[in-house]
Amino acid sequence: MKAPSVLLINPWIADFAAYDLWAKPLGLLYVGKFLRSYGYEFQLIDLTDRLRWNNSDPATKLSGRGKYHKTIIPKPEAVTHVPRRFGLYGATREQFLSALQNIDPPKAILLTSHMSYWYPGVAETVKILRESFPAAKIILGGIYASLFPEHARKIVQPDHLITGYGEKQTLMLLDTIHEIERDYSAIPEFDDTGILPWDLYTKINAVAIMSSRGCPLHCDYCATPYLNPRFLQRAPEDVISEIVCLYEQFGIRQFAFYDDALFINKKRHIIPILKGLLKHGVNAKFHTPNGLFAREIDPELAALMKRAGFQTIRISLESIIPKWQKASTDKVSTDHFELALNNLENAGYKRSDIEAYLIMGLPGQRYSDIEKSIRYVADLGAVSRLASYSPIPHTAHWNRAKALGSVWDDMDPLLTNNTLYPCATDDFPVEKFLELRQLSNDLNMSVRKQPLKEDN
Ligand code: SF4
């Protein structure tokens, strides 16, 4: 019997700004890998695949990061007051339609979702899929579907919506659609081992790697513990063989670790991984767009990072104010941060190569809290990268933002967009956030003698 073929879709991003930091739809690819091991075949349309659509800024293609093509669309009603242009990022509508014309009508389509406030991109993608394949069952999963399931059911109207771990749930759903019977008793919820189905991409020059799932910490603003309640690290040998295979067989030279907690249990995890990659002669660039834990960067790890080719190093500092450090599970202190900078410098990095994430816009956070943190980072010769807070349901800070009236239960997820500074108040208005951005840019310029490459 011919293997049933399923269409995997990574939808458009809909936002005021978006920038590609080696992003790949890892959740969707993990589901694809899992289903493949149970006999399914796939076609993939990744609407944000800049190499495939060949319509993004050519100068930024090779590094694996860069600007997406933007198609301006009318602003959704909830954000008409925002004085910026709204758009769909990735393929043009014509490119999407032409890609759909070249595939056989599938019985089922798996669609992922990312930031909740990108949902207009998901809804627009589904509208086109419905017109092209009216008989196909559309299954929606991913972050938005898990965080705002009722909203997604109402607005996107998938045939099926999956929350939480998608692998086994999707297998059971697809089997029902394809009238396949099997015994599920020994089938796990998910399986993170092995190599993802990168062969579904026709061109690829950078890859995102997850060496673990979830995070053992519980920061007040983060939904990872809700979305991924189990913290599981893959075996180092498994991660090494995935990277070596991508390096040797696919020619990949740019890797981004998308782990939430890459350096936890370092002696059993990242250190053997990096030693193994060096042993295999992997000569590539590694990037860490998610923040690293400063307290784990000791002289041994710093030296290994340098030898292995870590290039983009972002450390989660979040704030130098103890109250906000507590909200970040005390994952970093200023002592940790300064020690990590010294160790990285001794390993051969320039301090101005190191970026410190600072969170801004938390409910109740003051202008001076953020300003002090920005100045502290610059005084140490490092670079500050401001991460604007976006309120997320199922987190402690959501409840705080709710008590302050900044969010409410049935709010439009568009209003959680960090571009809008959702927790701005009369005392700390949006203009003051922009002033802080300017301060960070100015100090970074004096540290680096050149502008920091923007993420958006
Ligand atoms: S350390 Fe990072 S991933 Fe873990 S809970 Fe905190 S913010 Fe989330």
Q: What integer pLDDT is reported at residue 332 of this predicted model?
A: 87
- Quote the ligand 1 centre to 296 CA distance (angstroms): 15
- Quote the ligand 1 centre to 112 CA distance (angstroms): 22
Q: Is residue 183 part of a domain?
A: no
- Quote the ligand 1 centre to 448 CA distance (angstroms): 28
* Ligand 1 atom 2 nearest Cα: 260
- Quote the ligand 1 centre to 368 CA distance (angstroms): 24
Q: Is residue 192 part of a domain?
A: no
* Ligand 1 atom 8 nearest Cα: 222
- Quote the ligand 1 centre to 381 CA distance (angstroms): 25
DSSP 132: H
* Ligand 1 atom 6 nearest Cα: 219
CA–CA separation, 28 and 110 (whole Å): 8
**Residue to substitute in 212, 227, 260 for testing ligand 1 pocket (most ligand atoms within 8 angstroms of CB):** 260
Phi then psi dihedrals of residue 334, to 5 deg: -65, -35
Same domain? 167 vs 316? no
Same domain? 235 vs 173? no
Confidence of residue 449 (pLDDT cuts 50, 70, 90): confident
Domain with 306, as residue range(s), is: 205-448
Average of per-residue pLDDT values in the chain: 94
The distance from CA 204 to its chain's CA centroid, rounded to whole angstroms, is 18
Which atom number of ligand 1 is nearest to the Cα of residue 223?
8
Same domain? 368 vs 438? yes
Same domain? 117 vs 241? no
Within 10 angstroms of residue 292's Cβ, the number of other Cβ atoms is 25
> Three-state SS string across 2-67, please?
CCCEEEEEECCEEECCCEEECCCCHHHHHHHHHHHCCCCEEEEEECCCHHHHCCCCHHHCCCCEEE
Q: What integer pLDDT is reported at residue 63 of this predicted model?
A: 73
Q: What is the mean pLDDT of residues 21-30?
A: 95
Helix or strand or coil: residue 338? helix
Q: Is residue 454 part of a domain?
A: no
Same domain? 168 vs 270? no
CATH number, domain containing residue 71:
3.40.50.280
Residue with tokens 């059911």: 153
The answer to whether 196 and 33 are in contact (CB under 8 A) is: yes
Q: Is residue 69 part of a domain?
A: yes
Q: Is residue 48 part of a domain?
A: yes
Same domain? 251 vs 296? yes
Count of domains for the chain: 2
Q: What is the CA radius of gyration of the chain?
A: 22
Q: Is residue 194 part of a domain?
A: no
Ligand 1 lining (C-beta closer than 6 Å) = 215, 217-219, 222, 224-225, 260-261, 329, 331
Q: Is residue 200 part of a domain?
A: no
Which atom number of ligand 1 is nearest to the Cα of residue 221?
7
- Quote the ligand 1 centre to 58 CA distance (angstroms): 34
Within 10 angstroms of residue 191's Cβ, the number of other Cβ atoms is 13
CA–CA separation, 302 and 104 (whole Å): 50
Same domain? 86 vs 214? no
Within 10 angstroms of residue 241's Cβ, the number of other Cβ atoms is 16
Q: What is the mean pLDDT of residues 82-91?
A: 96
CA–CA separation, 381 and 450 (whole Å): 14
Which atom number of ligand 1 is nearest to the Cα of residue 222?
8
In degrees to the nearest 10, what's the CA dihedral of 114, 63, 353, 431?
-50
- Whether the CA torsion 369, 365, 450, 339 is positive or negative: it is positive
Helix (H) or strand (E) holding 306: helix 299-308
Which atom number of ligand 1 is nearest to the Cα of residue 224?
8
> Which residues, in sequence order, are bridge partners of residue 170?
none
In degrees to the nearest 10, what's the CA dihedral of 232, 237, 238, 243?
120
Same domain? 315 vs 420? yes
Q: How many helices (H) and strands (E) does the chain have?
A: 16, 18
Q: Which residue has the higher pLDDT, 66 or 146?
A: 146
Same domain? 277 vs 330? yes
- Quote the ligand 1 centre to 26 CA distance (angstroms): 18
**Residue to substitute in 210, 212, 219 for testing ligand 1 pocket (most ligand atoms within 8 angstroms of CB):** 219
Q: What integer pLDDT is reported at residue 455 of this predicted model?
A: 61
Structure tokens at 231: 């913290």
- Quote the ligand 1 centre to 366 CA distance (angstroms): 22
- Length of the chain equals 456
- Quote the ligand 1 centre to 316 CA distance (angstroms): 9
* Ligand 1 atom 3 nearest Cα: 260
The answer to whether 405 and 334 are in contact (CB under 8 A) is: no
Q: What integer pLDDT is reported at residue 59 of this predicted model?
A: 56
Q: Is residue 15 part of a domain?
A: yes
- Quote the ligand 1 centre to 324 CA distance (angstroms): 13
Over residues 352-404, the pLDDT tens digits come to: 999 999 999 999 999 999 999 999 999 999 999 999 999 999 999 999 999 99
- Quote the ligand 1 centre to 412 CA distance (angstroms): 25
Residue with tokens 């923040």: 291
Same domain? 150 vs 247? no
* Ligand 1 atom 1 nearest Cα: 217
Instruction: Return the axis-axis angle of helices 430-448 and 367-379, rounded to nearest 10°.
Output: 0
Within 10 angstroms of residue 37's Cβ, the number of other Cβ atoms is 13
Confidence of residue 60 (pLDDT cuts 50, 70, 90): low
Confidence of residue 339 (pLDDT cuts 50, 70, 90): very high
Look at residues 159, 177, 195 and tell me which one is the last residue of a structural domain: 177
Instruction: Using a cut of 0.85, tell me whether the model's pTM lies above it.
Output: yes
Same domain? 57 vs 138? yes
Residues 6+ apart with CB under 8 A from 95: 53, 55
Same domain? 70 vs 145? yes
**Residue to substitute in 318, 329, 397 for testing ligand 1 pocket (most ligand atoms within 8 angstroms of CB):** 329
Residues 6+ apart with CB under 8 A from 1: none
CATH number, domain containing residue 365:
3.20.20.70
**Residue to substitute in 331, 357, 362, 398 for testing ligand 1 pocket (most ligand atoms within 8 angstroms of CB):** 331
